[in-house]
Amino acid sequence: MECYMKKGSIKIYVSMVLLIIIVAGFILMNLPKKDDGIIKVGYSADTLVIERWKRDRELFKQKAEAEGIQVIFHNANENNDTQVSQIKSLIEDDVDVLVIIPYDKDGISDVVNTAIDKGIKVISYDRLISNAPVDVYLSFDNYKVGESMASELLSETKGNYIIINGSPEDNNSSMFRDGYIETLQPFIDSNEVNVVKEVWADDWREAPAYEAVVDVLNEGTEVDAIIGANDHLADAAIRALSERGLAGKVFVAGHDADVSACQRIVEGTQHVTIYKPIDTIASEAVDIAIRLATGQSIESHDTIYNGYDVPYVKLDVISVTEDNILETVVKDGFHKYEDVFRE
Is residue 155 one of the residues assigned to a domain?
yes
Is residue 106 one of the residues assigned to a domain?
yes
Is residue 16 one of the residues assigned to a domain?
no
Confidence of residue 98 (pLDDT cuts 50, 70, 90): very high
Q: Is 110 helix (H, G, I), strand (E, B) or coil?
A: helix
How far, in Å, CA of 191 to CA of 124, rounded?
Answer: 39
Are residue 186 and residue 261 in the same domain, yes or no? yes
Are residue 271 and residue 308 in the same domain, yes or no? no
Are residue 165 and residue 258 in the same domain, yes or no? yes
What is the span of the domain harbouring residue 110? 40-134+278-315
Count of Cβ atoms closer than 10 Å to residue 114 Cβ: 15
Confidence of residue 19 (pLDDT cuts 50, 70, 90): low
Residue 274: C-alpha distances to residues 130, 230, 250, 278 (Å): 25, 9, 18, 12
Q: What is the mean pLDDT of residues 202-207?
A: 94
Are residue 183 and residue 330 in the same domain, yes or no? yes
Are residue 184 and residue 331 in the same domain, yes or no? yes
- 103-145: pLDDT as tens digits: 998 999 999 999 999 999 999 999 999 999 999 999 999 999 9
CATH of the domain at 79: 3.40.50.2300
Count of Cβ atoms closer than 10 Å to residue 303 Cβ: 12
- 175-201: pLDDT as tens digits: 999 999 999 999 999 999 999 999 999
Is residue 231 one of the residues assigned to a domain?
yes
Are residue 333 and residue 249 in the same domain, yes or no? yes
Is 327 a residue whose pLDDT tops 70?
A: yes
> Is residue 50 within 8 Å of 127, Cβ to Cβ?
no
Number of folded domains in the chain?
2
Are residue 89 and residue 109 in the same domain, yes or no? yes
Are residue 125 and residue 188 in the same domain, yes or no? no
How far, in Å, CA of 12 to CA of 229, rounded?
Answer: 73
Are residue 75 and residue 163 in the same domain, yes or no? no
> Is residue 315 within 8 Å of 281, Cβ to Cβ?
yes
Are residue 201 and residue 255 in the same domain, yes or no? yes
